[in-house]
Amino acid sequence: MNAHTDHPSWWGISLAELRDQVISGERSAAQLVRESLKRLNTYNAAHRIVLELNRQAEHEAQQVDEAIAFCHAEGDIAQRAEGALAGIPVVVKGNIAVRGLALSAGNPVFGQFVAEQDAPAVATLRNAGAIVLATVNTSEFAWHGTITASSLGGTTTNAYDESLSASGSSGASAVAVALGITPIAVGTDTCGSVVGPAAHAGLVGWRPTFGTLPTEGIVPLAPAQDTPGIIARSVADIQLVAGTLNLTQAEVSSGETARGVARHLRISYLEWPLQAPGAPSLTGSQRQKIRSAVAEKVRSSASLLMQREGMQEVECTLSAQEAHQLLPGSQYTEIALALEEFVASGACSDDVDSTHELVAHALKTALIDSATIERWLKYARTHPEALAESLMRGAEQRRAWLEYMRANSLDAIIYATSPETASHDWAGTAAAGLSSHGGSPSITVPIGKVNGLPVGLTVLTQPDADVLAMNIAGQLERLISTS
């Protein structure tokens, strides 16, 4: 089975409609969870999705149903409307704390730590009535961005073809949504780790403006870039979750982004992401054929958007080399230090004798090449200031990027999420650093398929303009569906 052939009972229903069905009593939360668990059991062996099931999920769903039944009996419509995600099953990437489950990040050493409380994003979704079904596989310590593979979870496979990569590092989060196990998933994005898996699963992936969603309770990779993100089936579903997370309130109050696509927008289309590196296993002729088809689909979709009234296409002179000079990003030399600080904070456990020894042991057991691990550990020994310096560089790059977009009067930039479709050993991104290094929000929208595999287009806006990014992405989504 794959994402083509089998759908859950709620497929084709928006997140808001599904929530309303639960609140009205037309559908029960417990029913949704049981269906999700059944689908997870069906697909997990082939796709390697789960790290740990939430054994309380069905009980928590029953509690939601009981609370809704009580509100019905009392005639309290206001109470019944409070749960923006009432009864909605969700999966959470395994590097994010879920109360009572292991905070493993796919690693057996970290797998001994049980989270005592939810990460803030998880807590907010749960408070809105969402039911955490499971923690799901991640590239170990979220390191790989083109595959999802860990010592604990194995290798997660693509929802459209089990022989292909699911992308990384939030690959299992995307696969769970694509296979109809849950309507939404929580991942993390350091440099394309939400938008990449979403694009290669034919989904919408949202990386928010850096710093607007807290990272407490998330095992760090590069703290100057890490953020939680959301994967869903539509832009409208993303908007509902964003509203639940209270991310959009400050933006809407500013007035400028609240008008969304109703005002005159200056948008640039970048061509050079189509030339980004891709799968190492492809031959020259294979690559040329796939890339030509992807490029045609990306350009035609971008053209549809650019022709919309109120949008002005402006030339963007930013080259790939200039983008790298402006936004070099984290050099990933601070990883061991970030992990040590995370463990020392008590986020994993208070019962740790030596954070340095524990982190060194965890990294040496990881499914990451030994030369990379040794480089990280050596840097931690010789450059104890590396983490603080990385955070400072990140802040400087975000300021420089905001100044660049403002100086060029750019409201948005659009580009291919990936130059190629998924391959056996690769399913990556292009130009993801513009968002992850620059702090901008970005959303990938599915624009069709090449050889049966999904292709995505990314919309990026100025930092703190998540509402505008969603509005433009929604326009693109509607244009694609009617073209």
Total-model pTM? 0.95
Greatest alpha-carbon span in the chain: 68
**445-477 residues labelled b (16+ CB within 10 A) or e (exposed):** bbbbebeebbbbbbbbbbbbbbbbbbbbbbbbb
Helix (H, G, I), strand (E, B) or coil at 307: coil
Tens of pLDDT, residue by residue over 211-243, are 999 999 999 999 999 999 999 999 999 999 999
193 is a catalytic site residue = yes
Strands (E), 406-483: 412-416, 442-450, 453-461
Q: Rounded to whole angstroms, how far apart are CA atoms 197 and 179?
A: 13
Identify the pLDDT of residue 309.
77
Q: Rounded to whole angstroms, how far apart are CA atoms 232 and 185?
A: 7
Q: Which of 28, 104, 150, 169 is catalytic?
A: 169
Q: Which of 28, 36, 93, 234 is catalytic?
A: 93
Identify the pLDDT of residue 6.
86
Contact indicator for 30, 61 with CB cutoff of 8 Å = yes
CATH 3.30.70.1150 assigned to 15-253 = no
Rounded to the nearest angstrom, the gap between the alpha carbon of residue 121 and the centroid of all alpha carbons in its chain is 13
Q: Rounded to whole angstroms, how far apart are CA atoms 60 and 57?
A: 5
Q: Rounded to whole angstroms, how far apart are CA atoms 406 and 26?
A: 49
What is the DSSP code string of 210-262? TTSS--TTB--S-TTT-EEEEEESSHHHHHHHHHHTT-SHHHHHTSTTTTGGG
Q: Rounded to whole angstroms, how far apart are CA atoms 382 and 392?
A: 19
Report the candidate in 211, 168, 242 with the shortest Cα–Cα distance to residue 473. 242
Place of tokens 């691990």: 373
Place of tokens 């953020």: 227
Structural domain spans, the chain: 15-253, 263-330+390-482, 341-388
Q: Rounded to whole angstroms, how far apart are CA atoms 110 and 135?
A: 14
Q: How many CB atoms lie within 10 A of CB 162?
A: 14
Place of tokens 């391959």: 423
Identify the pLDDT of residue 350.
63
Place of tokens 């850096």: 210
The residue ranges of the chain whose pLDDT is under 70 are 1-4, 76-82, 247-263, 349-353
Structure tokens at 43: 């697909």
169 is a catalytic site residue = yes
Identify the pLDDT of residue 451.
96
Identify the pLDDT of residue 83.
82
Report the candidate in 187, 44, 145, 114 with the shortest Cα–Cα distance to residue 368. 145
Q: Rounded to whole angstroms, how far apart are CA atoms 336 and 452?
A: 40
Report the candidate in 210, 172, 147 with the shortest Cα–Cα distance to residue 96. 172
At residue 281's C-alpha, the angle toward residues 275 and 285, to 5°, is 60
Q: Rounded to whole angstroms, how far apart are CA atoms 331 and 192?
A: 15
481 exposed, middle or buried (CB, 10 Å; 0-12, 13-18, 19+)?
A: exposed
72 φ/ψ angles, rounded to the nearest 5 degrees: -60, -45
What is the DSSP code string of 165-195? B--SSSHHHHHHHHTTS-SEEEEEESSSTTH
Place of tokens 């009864």: 87
Distances (CA, A) of 463 to 242, 324, 346, 400: 15, 18, 31, 11
At residue 284's C-alpha, the angle toward residues 282 and 286, to 5°, is 55
Identify the pLDDT of residue 92.
98
Tens of pLDDT, residue by residue over 352-368, are 668 889 999 999 999 99
Q: Which of 28, 165, 193, 442 is catalytic?
A: 193
285 is a catalytic site residue = no
